[in-house]
Structure 1
Amino acid sequence: MNRLIQKPYPSLLALVGGLFLLSSLTSCNSSEGKEDATEAPTGPAAVDVFALKRGKLSSSLQLPGELVAFRDVDIYAKVSGYIKALHADVGSEVRQGQLLALAEAPELSAQVASAESKLKAQEALSIASKANYERILEASKFSGAVSKNDVDQALAKRNADLAQLDAAKSAYREVSDLKKYLEIRAPFDGIISARNASTGAYIGPAGKGSEFPLFVLTEQKKLRLVIAVPEAYTGYVDQNDVVSFSVKAFPDKKFTGQVKRQAGALDKRLRSERVEVDVINNDKKLLPGMVAEVNVPLPTKANTLIVPKSAIVNSTKGVFVIKVNNGKAEWVPIKKGLEADEQVEIFGSLAEGDQLITDATEEIRDGLPVNVKK
């Protein structure tokens, strides 16, 4: 039994010795690798740079807009009466001054007749007082025929009658003008887009017999395209700029117009400026109320500094470009402007000709040396 127990010992010793030798070799190799790694040189990062230049960047802004009539007016009767005849209906194209409807008001005709009779009576009185004054004045030229007081009274009567005549004329014109209001005419060229009365209907001024307007007249050959330009882009929109747009009714057609009016103030709720574009619509394909998809060009005002997007670093501290200054990286804070075609308009403490790193990353630390590729 003792012999059987002692046999394995030589093999066990050989195994332990082999493991120890392997461990020693591995440790030596590891140490040598670390020494090699430590001894490897670490030079400055090699980077591509470009010379900063000025340029003009053009972009565009997509905005929703609404087409509205250039002029749109509710037409009410100025005096109360009844519709005698209608000369226009929905869809009628009318010219300025064209008769749209004729009303009648019997009481108004009576007022005109009364004013006319008063005017004629006053004219007769004025003629008589004038003649009387002239006779007295002629008689006063003979000594003792007429007193000075009689002449003054005759003159005062003539002047009073003349004043009454002027008042009668004014009253007659006033009533006559009211009668003209029974003729309802178009204030400008356009199309009748609504009619709310028929022959025989009672009409009158707004709130006095007419809840709805008699007609709605819309100018359709010229429209306003209303858009709301966000605050950040208001500086790029100018008078007479040409914009293009499309509508759902004609998705394959592009329409254009010119910027003609700007509000000059921001909407306090939307933080945007109201801009109106004049659109010529001679073929009347476009209709007021249509929603448009508008393309607003946004060219830069003058030559500005332009860089590729890859040259900008967006970090937690802000937005930067990295300038190479005396062989070292210098982080320069900037503000971005328009973006188009992988190019960005920037503003900051930079000058034309500065050397900027093309592919800027946060790994290129501020102040570290850099190696510019040739």
Structure 2
Amino acid sequence: MKRPSSRFIMIALVVLVGLVAIGAVPRLRQSAALQRMAAPTIPTVTVMTPSRAPGATDFTLPGSIQAIQDVPIFARADGYLKRRFVDIGDRVQQGQVLAELDTPELDQQVAQGRAALAQAQASLAQAESALQQARATLQHNEATARFNGITLDRWRELKRRELVAQQDVDNFQAASDGSRADVAAAQANIDALAASANAARANVVASEANLRRLTDLQSYQTLRAPFTGIVTVRNVDQGSLISSGSATNAMPAFRVAQIDSLRIFVNVPQTFVSSIAPGLSTDTVVRELPNRVFKASVFSTAEALDPASRTLLTEIHMRNEGTVLRPGMYADVNFHVTRTNPPFLLPATAVIIRSGPPRVAVVGPDGIVHLQQVQLGRDLGSTVEIIGGLGEQDTFILTPADNVEDGARVNPVPV
């Protein structure tokens, strides 16, 4: 039997290897595809670094226009409105009479106060007269006591010489003792009368003070304007019963507002606080007067932020030329400021708003995501100010996925 040639064997081996390779390649490709599908997918994200907002910027805050002065006018005495001279909308000058009251009870109290003062003054005069008389009596008694003492000394000398009887000396001794007792009694009487005079004098002072109080109240029968302004409220008419009181328990008879100058209170966010100072110019716009811009300036600030809103209460003053503005109007105040440390400005899509504080997805050098808590400033629509929680070198995801989690791995691609 003829053996196959080596050439034939080689051809057969090549054909066999080719067939094996043709069957194995698809299996290898399928296995590699399965391995790729089984491997975790690392998402590719667009990242960027934060940029600063412009240093010079404008911002607008709402506010309510108020009169520079606005005070209620209360009656200080009980009575009836005798005459009224003004009505709402009337312009009044400082000190101008607004109304007059009829106060019969107060008038009677004033008369009683004058009578009480006159009686107290009469009692004082009587006490001072008695005191003066007692002092004269004391002087007389002191002179008598001195005379009796000198006489007694003389009679004692005569007794020593045996020129007079002892009975005579005893008589002068008794007279001297009696005069000294009269001096002591007169001094005690003076002390009592002086105390009575002091009490009468104090009664006069008290009566004078009471009369001054009543006459001061009587002067409030006339209600006057405390400053130049406009009568904005009138709650009384002629014949109305008016009770004295204050803002806690009575209705004011009138209300007067000074509207030549106006003020607006606004709450300035923390990000602009460092740029707010007295004298800073502002522009005020009222929607009902769209073609007018009213110049104003910062008058003062509270110098402390409200811990709840992190805003600074700021008072703005402005002239009301032509009195076209009215207290109570809504206004928009536009500030022009230059910030020394402006906040970061991020696309609104970069801020993650879930339960809890706002966050930004910061990507580290290792591609690991960290959900960084940030403090928001103004919402400008497509962009948001970040005033805290982010650094200049931080890289953040421009549009993070809704399911992005802290610690996730991503493939960052700069924008």
Point out the structure with max Rg over C-alpha. Answer: 2
Are 1:165 and 2:204 counterparts?
yes
SS in 1 for 2:112: helix
Identical-residue share of aligned pairs (%): 24
Task: After TM superposition, give the deviation of residue 190 of structure 1 in Å.
Answer: 2.4
Distance 1:299 1:150, change over 3 A: same
Which residue identity does 2:110 align to in structure 1?
V
Which residue number corresponds to residue 298 of structure 2?
258
Which structure carries more strand by proportion?
Answer: 1
Indicate which of 54, 71, 74 corresponds to 1:73: 71
Distance 1:71 1:52, change over 3 A: closer
Matches within 5 A, 1:130-141: 130-141=128-139
Which residue number corresponds to residue 105 of structure 2?
107
* Unmatched tracts of structure 1, length 5 or more: 1-30, 39-47
Task: After TM superposition, give the deviation of residue 206 of structure 1 in Å.
Answer: 4.8
Are 1:215 and 2:254 counterparts?
yes
**Does the 8 Å contact 2:363/2:412 carry over to 1?**
no
SS in 1 for 2:292: strand
Task: After TM superposition, give the deviation of residue 318 of structure 1 in Å.
Answer: 5.2
Structure-2 separation of matches of 1:111 and 1:59: 67
Distance 1:128 1:303, change over 3 A: same
Which residue number corresponds to residue 190 of structure 1?
229
Task: After TM superposition, give the deviation of residue 290 of structure 1 in Å.
Answer: 0.7
**Does the 8 Å contact 2:50/2:346 carry over to 1?**
no
Are 1:294 and 2:333 counterparts?
yes
Which residue number corresponds to residue 119 of structure 2?
121
**Does the 8 Å contact 1:57/1:345 carry over to 2?**
no
Q: Number of paired residues?
A: 321
Task: After TM superposition, give the deviation of residue 169 of structure 1 in Å.
Answer: 1.3
Task: After TM superposition, give the deviation of residue 281 of structure 1 in Å.
Answer: 3.0
SS in 2 for 1:157: helix
CA deviation string 1:118-175 (max 9, x = no partner): 2123212212321321232233133336532222222222222212212221221222
Task: After TM superposition, give the deviation of residue 182 of structure 1 in Å.
Answer: 0.7
Which residue number corresponds to residue 240 of structure 2?
201
CA deviation string 1:228-252 (max 9, x = no partner): 56xxx33423443544331133111
Give the alignment's TM-score, normalised by structure 2. Answer: 0.60
Q: What is the Cα-based RMSD across aligned positions, in Å?
A: 4.7
Task: After TM superposition, give the deviation of residue 303 of structure 1 in Å.
Answer: 5.5
Matches within 5 A, 1:9-88: 57-88=55-86
SS in 2 for 1:156: helix
Indicate which of 218, 226, 241 corresponds to 2:265: 226
**Does the 8 Å contact 1:103/1:182 carry over to 2?**
yes
Which structure carries more helix by proportion?
Answer: 2
Structure-2 separation of matches of 1:265 and 1:307: 25
Task: After TM superposition, give the deviation of residue 272 of structure 1 in Å.
Answer: 7.1
Are 1:279 and 2:320 counterparts?
no
* Unmatched tracts of structure 2, length 5 or more: 1-25, 34-45, 146-178, 402-407
Structure-1 separation of matches of 2:292 and 2:243: 45
**Does the 8 Å contact 2:75/2:223 carry over to 1?**
yes
**Does the 8 Å contact 1:311/1:322 carry over to 2?**
no
**Does the 8 Å contact 2:51/2:346 carry over to 1?**
no
Task: After TM superposition, give the deviation of residue 116 of structure 1 in Å.
Answer: 1.2
